[in-house]
């Protein structure tokens, strides 16, 4: 059964918008932290600043945007609001807004109390949110492949959060846990299962529809999300069961090749699109998919050449390409499309005759995408020349985050101006 949107079930305008408007503040905070700590942040994957930066981006930006988008998407495409409705949305938003800085401060200070406090706030609210989305998805009448893929991404998010909370408690308690194995599993489920899973589920549907491209090859459309999800399950079993390194290495290389194929296929489809003009969504998709392609090659290269895997630059470069280059780019491109649409929907429902919603683009979103691409490249190369590049990357990424904040804030500001003008016109 095909997906049919039901906008009557959409949450209030403010519910997803507060997530979208908060996310750029965390991107600015991450850039400020990088500028403040400079080269020291990138000395290894375990530096306090690197862990704080990872979570400011993963939770403060990516989870924030994705929670807002899921709230809208799951309600509209299952035809029913989430259990808990706007109150649940407000609770999750508050937990992400308070819990993420608490976790980051905990990493920076090396404080088990802050880490545990942040983890518990985040864990409780995200568990409620995941359960509400899962409840709706499980009861959806449609069994469309995108809803199934979103379900897989949601399970991956649940695993990531559960492992994150376990790690936080274990760090604080000083328990004899297999910390390195669990941290790897946490990072892989977060990056490959959740970020890549959710983005690919959405891209498989919206790229051909909105960008008017040929469809994805059937094997990718039907097989990519389930294959990646199954690979993650097998990988976890091999990792926890202490299987020989070559079995895990082979599976990791195959999964990397799958991700590279998906990125390349999306880039080829975008090059064949019927609408030739490049807008912000397309430019950010291109930057995101090029980053995913580069990250996949780096990942496969590290499996083939142990020197790459052992280099201190490898995890930082991989994290920069996946979280900043791929995750942030694709979600930013998505915001350029969703926020004007939600504003238009709100405006046309609440005051059909009062002025239109602001035009989708005033500043060039394409130039914004290039700025973000430059920030990603500088960050990915910064571990090699940290003295020169770390702070340059921070400046470029801060400018990119500020540009996004401005682009998004224009919409509620224009609505407010329109409603003031309408009330002053009234006799």
Among 42, 70, 171, 415, binds ligand HEM (CB under 6 A): 171
Nearest to 69 by CA among 191, 190, 188, 198: 198
Helix and strand element counts for the chain (H, E): 16, 0
* 51 makes contact with ligand HEM (CB under 6 A): yes
Asked if 190 interacts with ligand HEM (CB under 6 A), we say yes
Binding residue for ligand HEM, selected from 22, 72, 156, 183, defined by CB under 6 A:
183
Closer to ligand HEM by CB, 51 or 394: give it.
Answer: 51
The answer to whether the CB of 297 falls within 8 A of the CB of 363 is: no
> Whose structure tokens read 């999750």?
92
Q: For residues 298-337, which are near ligand HEM according to CB under 6 A?
A: 315
CB of residue 164 vs ligand HEM: minimum separation in angstroms?
3
Stretch that binds ligand HEM, among 166-174, 304-312, 388-396, 407-415 (CB under 6 A): 166-174
Contact between 63 and ligand HEM by CB under 6 A: the answer reads yes
Provide φ and ψ at 355, rounded to 5°: 20, 155
Instruction: Give the max Cα distance, the chain.
Output: 79
Classify burial at 46, counting beta carbons within 10 Å of its beta carbon; exposed 0-12, middle 13-18, buried 19 or more. exposed
Q: How far is the CB of 70 from ligand HEM (least distance, A)?
A: 13
Q: Radius of gyration of the chain from Cα atoms?
A: 21
Torsion angle of the four alpha carbons 53, 199, 281, 51, in this order, in degrees rounded to the nearest 10: 0
Which one, 132 or 195, has the nearer CB to ligand HEM? 195
164 interacts with ligand HEM by CB under 6 A? yes
Pick one of 27, 187, 201, 320: the residue that binds ligand HEM (CB under 6 A): 187
x/- map, 106-125, ligand HEM, by CB under 6 A: ---------x---x--xx--
- Rounded to whole angstroms, how far apart are CA atoms 355 and 228? 46
Under the binding rule (CB under 6 A), the answer on residue 16 touching ligand HEM is no
Considering only residues 122 through 151, tell me which ones interact with ligand HEM, judged by CB under 6 A: 122-123, 126
User: How many Cα atoms occupy the beta-carbon half-sphere of 26 within 13 Å?
Assistant: 31
Cβ(383)–Cβ(24) below 8 Å: no
**Which residues of this chain interact with ligand HEM, rule CB under 6 A?**
45, 51, 54-55, 58-59, 63, 103, 115, 119, 122-123, 126, 160-161, 164-165, 167-168, 171, 179, 183, 186-187, 190-191, 194-195, 315
């Amino acid at each position: 059964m095909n997906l049919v949107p039901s906008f009557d079930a959409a949450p209030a305008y403010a519910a997803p918008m507060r997530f979208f408007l908060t996310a750029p503040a965390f991107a600015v905070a991450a850039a400020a932290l990088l500028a403040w700590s400079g080269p020291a942040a990138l000395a290894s994957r375990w530096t306090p600043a690197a862990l704080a930066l990872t979570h400011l981006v993963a939770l403060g930006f990516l989870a924030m945007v994705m929670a807002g988008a899921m709230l809208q998407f799951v309600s509209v495409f299952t035809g029913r609001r989430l259990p808990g409705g706007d109150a649940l949305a407000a609770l999750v938003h508050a937990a992400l807004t308070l819990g993420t800085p608490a976790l980051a401060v905990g990493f920076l200070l090396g404080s088990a109390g802050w880490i545990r406090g942040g983890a518990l706030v985040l864990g409780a609210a995200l568990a409620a949110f995941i359960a509400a989305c899962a409840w709706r998805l499980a009861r959806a009448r449609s069994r469309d492949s995108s809803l199934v893929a979103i379900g897989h991404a949601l399970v991956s998010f649940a695993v990531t959060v559960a492992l994150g909370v376990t790690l936080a408690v274990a760090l604080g308690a000083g328990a004899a846990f297999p910390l390195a194995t669990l941290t790897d599993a946490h990072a892989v489920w977060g990056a490959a299962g959740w970020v890549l899973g959710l983005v690919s589920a959405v891209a498989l549907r919206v790229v051909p529809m909105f960008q008017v491209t040929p469809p994805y090859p059937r094997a990718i459309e039907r097989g990519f999300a389930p294959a990646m999800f199954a690979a993650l399950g097998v990988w976890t079993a091999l990792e926890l069961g202490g299987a020989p390194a070559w079995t895990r290495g082979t599976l990791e290389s195959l999964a990397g090749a799958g991700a590279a194929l998906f990125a390349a296929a999306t880039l080829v489809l975008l090059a064949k699109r019927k609408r030739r003009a490049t807008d912000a969504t397309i430019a950010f998709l291109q930057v995101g998919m090029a980053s995913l392609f580069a990250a996949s090659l780096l990942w496969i290269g590290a499996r083939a050449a142990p020197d790459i895997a052992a280099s201190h630059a490898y995890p930082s470069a991989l994290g920069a390409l996946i979280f900043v280059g791929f995750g942030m780019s694709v979600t930013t491109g998505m915001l350029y499309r969703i926020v004007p649409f939600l504003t238009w929907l709100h405006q046309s429902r609440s005051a059909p005759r009062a002025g239109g919603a602001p035009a989708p683009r005033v500043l060039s979103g394409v130039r914004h995408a290039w700025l973000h691409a430059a920030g990603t490249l500088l960050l990915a190369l910064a571990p090699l020349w940290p003295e020169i590049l770390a702070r340059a990357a921070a400046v470029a990424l801060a400018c990119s985050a500020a540009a996004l904040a401005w682009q998004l804030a224009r919409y509620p500001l224009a609505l407010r101006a329109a409603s003031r003008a309408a009330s002053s016109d009234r006799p």
